[in-house]
Structure formats: structure tokens, C-alpha cells
Amino acid sequence: MVTKKFVIKRLAVCVSTIFIVIVLNFMLFRVMPANPVDILLSPDVGQLSASIRMEVREEMIKSLGLDKPLWMQFVRYLGDVFKGNFGESFRTHRKVLSMISERVANTIVLMLSANILSILMAIGLGVVAAWKRGTKTDITSLIFALIFTSMPMFWVGGIIILVFAVRLDLFPMFGTTTVGLEHSNMFAYLSDYLRHLFLPMITMTLVSFGGLLLIVRSALLDVFSEDYILTARAIGLKDRTIIFKNALNNAMLPLITIIAINLGFMIGGSLLTETVFSWPGLGLTIYEAVMYRDYPVLQGTFLIITIIVVIANFLAEIVYGYADPRVRSGA
Amino acid sequence: MSMERLNLYTKRLKGFINQYKESKLGIIGLIILSIFIFISVFANYLSDYSIKATEGDLSAQFEPPSYKHWLGTDDVGRDLFTQIMYGGRISLLIGFLAAAISGGFGTLVGLFAGYFGGWREDILMRITDIVLVIPGLPLMIVLSALLGSSFWNIIFVISIIGWTGTARVVRAQVLSLKERPFIESTRVIGAGDLRIIGLHLLPNVFPLIVAQMVLRIGSAILAEASLSFLGLGDPMSVSWGMILHWAFTTGALFSNYWWFLLPPGICITLVVLGFTFVGYALDQIVNPRIRRR
């Protein structure tokens, strides 16, 4: 059992991190060079006369609470965040939260599928590499892993589009479903969605499995040098039994932490991949917000993404705590 | 410097070179990097074409590779091979500077946290943990969107998240170093904190820092490319990422202009790979925590 103290301690760290992230997010968008009111005003009220402009401006400053002292603005912001009120998009004038919530599922599907695929690849190749340590197989897989992790993810996506969507015309190149297509039933919709998912998923997997492979391999090498594995080999257990029954179980521990740490990287990756494939998730939302300088959307999406990552890290630590008895007593 | 010291250093250097020569990957990495650094440094002697957007040959837009244009031309008829050579300058320079700044800052944090311990260490390491958990690319995007894109802003934005790894490695090393007798004895003689940190700890962690920095250069180059691709690069200083940004925005993808898309990405991949190889080779030699495998 994980002790209560361990969970509470981790939870406190998690909550304080989220609080600091909220403060940071508030401060960042206060120090930006342009005043938010001016940005809001420029496109819509450009034609109005100067005096009306001033009036609208003052009105706006009041309604946004920008005339209050900074700490009162922060208290207000904090309240809004807890109510899920992230303001309105400058561009579409829709609520930021509803824009995020209709797109978050696409990001989760993309990240989860790519993550699972790259973990499977990393474990499969990592086991072979570690078991055949120092051979050609090992070195080839290591070099391939390093080459793929050195590639810019958006560029890999571009090449995959060029080859598989433009030249070979095997897969669609953007979106989640075919534009204008009426799906006759759930199954038709699903298969269309999966066909669209395939290329972005492969892109993310190719670039991210390498890093995981290196970790699986080195974790396994650590385990292989333990006495009980040597014993298992000595008493004549089959390689396969040793790897899957003994070694892999123990090598999973570092993998859990790495996947959690990797989450930030995967978020960055999905951001780039979504932009390349116009996959309507949180990453594309951030890209569009940057393009149109839509600060409320940028601020809200950044906060949500960061909080998700912090919570995922917290959960990983708890899982790690359950799996590894040393952590429980040590913390 | 006394003769004795000089001899010691040359001996150490020779030992280091011998160890480095054993690493095949390290040698390959070094060769790749030398080629790219040479080409970037001497770009203006290696090509007669201009990279200014106004000086492109508008009668030769999107031309495929030929004898005249080895890697074809872009949307305003500029020679892409020339652009790639100049682009290497910016990409490498941003990589070097960002790695140096974040490495320097990480070293300071690691040295002070490890040496002083106590509440100072707690605060510094908590900050490190928080920066580590914030997703890097989204933070870089938000910062560059708010600060505006310029050469130095991009370097600042990349550096601000890149120092955590170095800080952790340096701190761990300092923790074990400060228990050693030679540090104890300097303290007994009455050396001040700054003197111990600067004269005794820093030289001992320095090789480790260099290895860390080399590894960081690659990720800084990738980060710059990603920011440029997203339209947050500095249009005045054209990097490989910026060329790719143009390739994407001018529709090279859908028009099958592969010569516009492939080479910049290959350059980025090779250079990042080169730094990774060299970094690993160095790390194998200088990092006491890595066992040879």
C-alpha cells in the first residue's frame, strides 16, 4: 500500500504547481507589449471617430476590470478560472472553454493512439536490442532510433503527406473526416475518422518511439545484469520466459516515469502534427490563436494543456509509488 | 601556470582524445558537424547567388534541381542551395547561443543548489521541477507570441526552458564532490564559498557541462525549427526552419516541389544527429554515472 502521507505530499506539490502555473499564466499575458483593449478595439472599431473610440475604450477597460489594482485583477482571474470562464475569443467571439472542449477529444485520440503505438514499438524493439546487446541488430535499431528522434516532427509529417496523400493518394491529407461527406451510419463515420487519423498517428509515432526505445533498452540492460536473471538463465529457463515474466516487469518502472515526462514532449509533437494535418485539436487551436493573435484562446488553451500535463505527472508518480516499494518508504 | 600543471593538462587532453577516438559514433558525429560548420561559415565564398527576397530570379520560380541550381529554386526564384548554406549559419548560431545561455544558467543553479543545500536548494530545485513539468513547446510558443519574434527573443525563449537538465546533472555532481576531502581541506584553510565554487567545483563539473551543452544544441536547433515552422521565426534571419516554413506556406507540399521540402529537413536531421553522437561520446567519457555498455 502507498502510504497516505505519500499521496498527500504529492498532491500538495501538484496543487501548488497548478497554482504557480495559473499565476504565471496571469502574469505572462499582463506583461505583453500591446494592451489587450487596443488589440480588441483595432479590428472592430477602426472606423469610429476618435472620441467615440476613447469612450468605448474606457468602457471596455472597466468591464474587463483593467482599471483595478493588479491583485484584484488576479483574484478575479482566479475566480474565473475556477468557474471555467476563460473569456471570449477575439476572433470568433465564442466562449474559449467551449472552443477547447469540442476539440480536446481529437487531441486525446491522436496522442493516446500515437503513444500506445510508440510504446509497443519501443518495447518490441527494445527487448530485441537489449537481448542481442552489442550485435548488429542492436546497433542498427539504436541508430534508427536516434535518426528518427533527430527529425523535426512537422517535416516528417510533410513528407508523409507528400508521399502517401499527394503522390500515392492512399490517405486523406487533412481534417478528421471527409468534408461534405454524409456518413450513413456510425461505422462509416468511424472508418472515415480512422483513415484520417492514420497519417498523423504514424508521424508522431515515428518521431517519438526512438527516445522510448533507448530507455526500454537501458532499463532492460540494468535488469539483465541482476543476479536473479543470471540464475534464471543458469537453470535453463527459456529466453522468452525470462524476458516477459521477469525482466519486462521490472523494466516497466522507469518506463512509467518516462512516459509521464514524455507527455510534455508529446503535447509539443501533437501541436506540430495537428498543424501540419489540420487535425482540429488543442494544438491547432494554439496555432490559430497565435496566427490571429487571439490572446484569450491562447491563454486558456495553454493553461488547460499545462494543467492536464501536471495532473498526468501526479498520477504517474502515484502509479510509480504503487509499483515500486522503495518509493513508498523513501518518501 | 607552472610547467607541472601544463604537463598534467596535456596528458589529460591526450588521454581524452584517445578515449574519444574509440567511439565510432563520436567520430561520425564530428565529421558531419565539421562539414556543416565549414559550409555555413564560408557560405558567402561558396555561392554567388543572393538570398535577398528582392533579388530572386522571378522568371525561374519553383525550378527543380538543375546544373545551374543544384537544389532548385523557391517561390521567388532564389537558389535553394545558397539559402540552405546561409540557413545553416542561423540555425547553428541559434543552437550554439541557446545551448550556451541555458547551459550557463543551469550550471549556476546546479552549483548553488548543490553547494549551499538547505532552503536555497529546496527553492531552486522546486523551480526546476516546475519548469520541467510545463510543456516546453507550448510555453515557447506563448512567449514568442507575446514577446515578438526576433533573433535574440528566439534564443531567450529556447533558453528559458532548456536549463533544467543541466541544473540537475550539475547539482547531483556537486553533491558528491563537496563531500570529498579536497573540498573539505580548502574550506579548512579558510577559502570562501565563491572561491570553492569557482576554483574547485566548477573545473570539476566543467567536462560534464560541455557534454550537456553539446546535447542541448541539437534540441535547441529543433526547437527553433518548430517555432519558425509555426510562423514565429525571425523573417530577417533565415534559418532552415524558416525555409521549411516557406515551403509549407507556398504549397510546395501539394504541388510536389520535393526539392523545397526535403533538403532543409535532412540538414536539420543530420546536424541534430551529429550533436547527439558527439554529446553521447563525450558523456560516456566524462559522466561518472554512466557505465559503459
The winner for highest mean pLDDT among A31-45, B216-230, B253-267 is B216-230
User: Count of domains in chain B?
Assistant: 1
**Same domain, residue pair A73 and A202:** no
Same structural domain for residues A118 and A41?
Answer: no
| ipTM of the shown complex | 0.88
**pLDDT given at position B291:** 46
Give A84-153 as a DSSP string. T---B-TTT-SBHHHHHHTTHHHHHHHHHHHHHHHHHHHHHHHHHHHHTTTSHHHHHHHHHHHHHHTS-H
Domain limit, last residue, from A38, A53, A82: A82
State residue B38's pLDDT score: 93
Integer Cα distance of A272 and A287 in angstroms = 9
- Which residues does A236 contact at the CB level (< 8 Å), separation at least 6? none
In a domain, A89, yes or no: no
Q: What is the pLDDT of residue B97?
A: 95
B229-243 per-position pLDDT tens digit: 998 988 888 899 999
Please report whether residue A106 resides in a domain.
yes
Q: Which of B133, B241, B254 sits opposite A17 (nearest CB)?
A: B133
Is A21 within 8 Å of chain B by CB? yes
Q: Do A118 and A205 reside in the same domain of the chain?
A: yes
Q: Does A110 lie in the same domain as A31?
A: no
**Residue A90 domain-assigned?**
no
Contact between B263 and B80 (Cβ < 8 Å) = yes
Q: How confident is the model at residue B293 (pLDDT cuts 50, 70, 90)?
A: very low
Per-residue pLDDT tens over the stretch A6-36: 888 888 888 888 888 888 888 887 766 555 5
**A19: chain B residues, CB-CB within 8 Å:** none
CA distance A300 to A282: 10
Place of cell 486525446: A108
CATH number (domain holding residue A263):
1.10.3720.10
Range of the domain at B109: 61-291
| Domain that residue A282 falls in | 96-329
Which residues touch A54 (CB under 8 Å, ≥6 apart)?
Answer: none
Instruction: Give, in order, the Cα–Cα distances in Å from A188 to each of A102, A175, A193, A201, B31.
Output: 21, 16, 9, 20, 53
Separation CA B101–CA B217 (nearest Å): 11
Do residue A77 and residue A206 come from a single domain? no
Identity at B23, one-letter amino acid code? S
**Residue A145 and residue A31 share a domain:** no
CB–CB of A267 and B232 under 8 A? no
What is the number of other CB atoms lying within 10 angstroms of the CB of residue A241? 11
In a shared domain, residues A60 and A100: no
Residue A147: predicted pLDDT = 92
Q: Is residue A87 part of a domain?
A: no
Q: What is the pLDDT of residues A286-309, one digit of tens each?
A: 998 888 888 888 888 999 888 888
Answer with the one of A24, A48, A82 that is the final residue of a domain: A82
Establish if B17 belongs to a structural domain: no
d(CA A264, CA A260): 8
Q: How far is B135 from chain A (nearest CA, A)?
A: 4
- Is residue B250 in a domain? yes
The number of C-beta contacts closer than 8 angstroms across A and B is 132
Asked, for residue A237, whether it belongs to a domain, the answer is yes
Number of domains in chain A: 2
Report the distance separating Cα B85 and Cα A181, nearest Å. 46
Is residue B37 one of the residues assigned to a domain?
no
Best A16, A150, A203, A313 member to test B by mutation, with max B CBs in 10 Å, is A150
pLDDT at position A330? 44
Nearest to B256 among A162, A263, A272 (CB): A162
What are A172's three cell numbers? 486523406
Regions of chain A short of the pLDDT cut 50: 45, 329-331
**Phi, psi angle pair for A7, to nearest 5°:** -65, -45
Whether A88 maps to a domain, the answer reads no
Residue A229: its pLDDT value, please?
74
What DSSP state is assigned to residue A67? T
Nearest C-alpha in A relative to B264? A155
- Residue A132 with chain B: CB contacts under 8 Å: none
Secondary structure (H, E, C), chain B: CCHHHHHHHHHHHHHHHHHHHCCHHHHHHHHHHHHHHHHHHCHHHHCCCCCCHHHCCHHHCCCCCCCCCCCCECCCCCEHHHHHHHHHHHHHHHHHHHHHHHHHHHHHHHHHHHHHCHHHHHHHHHHHHHHHHCCHHHHHHHHHHHHCCCHHHHHHHHHHHHCHHHHHHHHHHHHHHCCCHHHHHHHHHCCCHHHHHHHHHHHHHHHHHHHHHHHHHHHHHHHHHHHHHCCCCCCCCCCHHHHHHHHHHCCCCCCCCHHHHHHHHHHHHHHHHHHHHHHHHHHHHHCCCCCCC
Kindly determine whether residue A151 and residue B247, on different chains, have CB atoms separated by under 8 Å. no
**Do A173 and A47 share a structural domain?**
no
Read off the C-alpha cell for B9: 593538462
Residues A198 and A50 in one domain: no
CA B217 – CA B100 distance, rounded (Å): 8
Q: Which residues of B fall within a CB distance of 8 Å from A133? A: 293
Burial B231-262 (b: 16+ CB within 10 A, else e): bbbbeebbbbbbbbbbbbebebbeeebbbbbb
Phi then psi for residue B117, to 5 deg, are 65, -165
**CB A154, CB A276: distance < 8 Å:** yes
Q: Same domain, yes or no, for A104 and A148? A: yes
Distance from CA of B221 to the nearest CA of A (A): 9
Per CB-CB distance under 8 Å, the chain A contacts of B244 are 152, 154-155, 158
Are residues B143 and A28, on separate chains, in Cβ contact within 8 Å? yes
- Please name the residues in contact with B199: beta carbons below 8 A apart, sequence gap of 6 or more: B191
What are the phi and psi torsion angles at A170 (to 5°)? -85, -35
Q: Which of residues 191-220 of A touch B (CB under 8 A)?
A: 218
Q: Which three cell numbers stand for residue B132?
A: 520541467
* A171 and A281 share one domain: yes
* For A152, nearest residue in chain B (alpha carbons): B222
Q: How many angstroms separate the CA atoms of A326 and A323, rounded?
A: 9
Q: Do A33 and B269 touch (CB under 8 A)?
A: no
Query: Has residue B4 been placed in a domain?
Result: no
Residue A275 to residues A43, A158, A194, B248, B252, Cα–Cα distance (Å): 25, 10, 18, 11, 16
> Each residue of B184-198: pLDDT tens digit?
788 778 777 778 887
Residue B72: which CATH number? 1.10.3720.10
Shortest Cα–Cα distance, A68 to chain B (Å): 22
Cα nearest neighbour of A302 on chain B: B138
Q: Average pLDDT for residues B91-113, to the nearest whole number?
A: 93
Q: Is residue B48 part of a domain?
A: no
- Reading the block at residue B141, the C-alpha cell is 510558443
A302 to chain B, any CB pair closer than 8 A? The answer is yes
Do A69 and A114 lie in one domain? The reply is: no
Query: Residue B139: inside a domain, yes or no?
Result: yes
pLDDT band at residue B228 using 50, 70 and 90 as cut-offs: very high
Other C-beta atoms lying within 10 Å of the C-beta of residue A85: 14
3-state SS, residue A54: helix
Q: Pick from A54, A82, A110: which residue ends a domain?
A: A82
Does a structural domain hold residue B56? no
DSSP A29: T
pLDDT over 90 (residue B104): yes
Q: What's chain B's average pLDDT? A: 85
Q: Give B42 to chain A, closest Cα distance, Å.
A: 25
Q: What is the pLDDT of residues B143-176, one digit of tens each?
A: 998 888 889 999 999 999 889 989 998 998 888 8
Nearest CA in chain B to A30: B146
